[in-house]
Amino acid sequence: MDIFDSHTHANTMQNSVLELMNVAGITEVAICSFIPLAKNPETLKDHFEELCTFQKERIEKYGIEAHVFVGIHPLCIPENWKKAIEFVEEFLAEDMATGIGEVGLHFLNEREEDVLLNQLELAREYSVPAIVHTPSTNRVSAVEKIVKIAEKAKVDFGSLVIDHTSIDTIGIVKENNAIAGVSIKPGIVTPEMIVENLDDFEDCLLNSDCANVTDTDPLAVPKTVRYIMREGIEKKIVKRMCFDNAKKVYKV
């Protein structure tokens, strides 16, 4: 089965890992921009450029189509973030990026909210999807705030992926007709949880959020697919979670 890993930092993976990902069935990925501690807007601009050119080509050499998402992550908001917003817009206007991401809330402060609002307004203006990060603490209030900001930005909730969703937050995401991104990582969601709560998860976008600086697994989605198939979940449903939903929401 072809797999679309809907949220990765595959640009940080070495070539041999990209090859393994493809051998395991991954044929498409979303790569999300993220530079920890970036202080200058130009740092992000160079990073976006690197993702859209060098990294996209490198990943595609391994049989994995790469869709680039650009944005200001809450953990790397530069001092002069308005300039960085202009750079995000440039990449959308030039059709270099598929969407906005990874953006979101982490510490839930006012500055993060302003940065998120500005980026979701761009998502609306350019009719592109957005991948929105949620933190590992204060999870429910983070999702509630994101929904409010998205309403203010008048963004299309059918293209709003609220990511790192789990059992505690998936209800709010679904009630608001947003899309649940589900990262298979210890402490967030396990393959067992997917099987036990299939009704909640079948409309979601599975992903690994793999990055070489975190405890993540670049094969998390193929391993989950294998597990849930073994548990007897219908192939049609599995395909929706690991491929079809991402194609539809990302419009690719």
Query: How far apart, in whole angstroms, are the C-alpha atoms of residue 89 and residue 86?
Result: 5
Footprint of Zn ion on 98-157 (CB under 5 A)? 102
Buried-state track 148-185, b at ≥16 Cβ within 10 A, e below 16: ebbeebebbeebbbbbbbbeebbebbbebebbbbbbbb
209 near Zn ion, rule: CB under 5 A: yes
Q: Which of these segments, 81-89, 113-121, 206-214, 233-241, binds Zn ion (CB under 5 A)?
A: 206-214
Query: How far apart, in whole angstroms, are the C-alpha atoms of residue 29 and residue 221?
Result: 11
Q: Which of these segments, 105-113, 122-130, 170-178, 202-210, binds Zn ion (CB under 5 A)?
A: 202-210
Q: Which of these segments, 37-45, 59-67, 205-213, 233-241, binds Zn ion (CB under 5 A)?
A: 205-213
With respect to Zn ion, which residue has the nearer C-beta, 34 or 239?
A: 34
28 near Zn ion, rule: CB under 5 A: no
The least CB distance from residue 209 to Zn ion, in Å, is 4
> How big is the site for Zn ion, counted in residues (CB under 5 A)?
2
The least CB distance from residue 73 to Zn ion, in Å, is 8
With respect to Zn ion, which residue has the nearer C-beta, 182 or 229?
A: 182
The neighbour count for residue 252, using CB atoms within 10 Å, is: 14
89 near Zn ion, rule: CB under 5 A: no
Dmax over CA atoms of the chain, in Å, equals: 52
Q: Which of these segments, 36-44, 165-173, 186-194, 208-216, binds Zn ion (CB under 5 A)?
A: 208-216
The least CB distance from residue 7 to Zn ion, in Å, is 6
The neighbour count for residue 84, using CB atoms within 10 Å, is: 27
Query: How far apart, in whole angstroms, are the C-alpha atoms of residue 63 and residue 25?
Result: 10
Q: Is the dihedral of CA 44, 152, 99, 206 positive or negative?
A: positive
Shortest-Cβ-distance residue relative to Zn ion: 209
HSE-CB at 228 with a 13 A cutoff on CA atoms is 29
Contacting residues toward Zn ion, per CB under 5 A: 102, 209
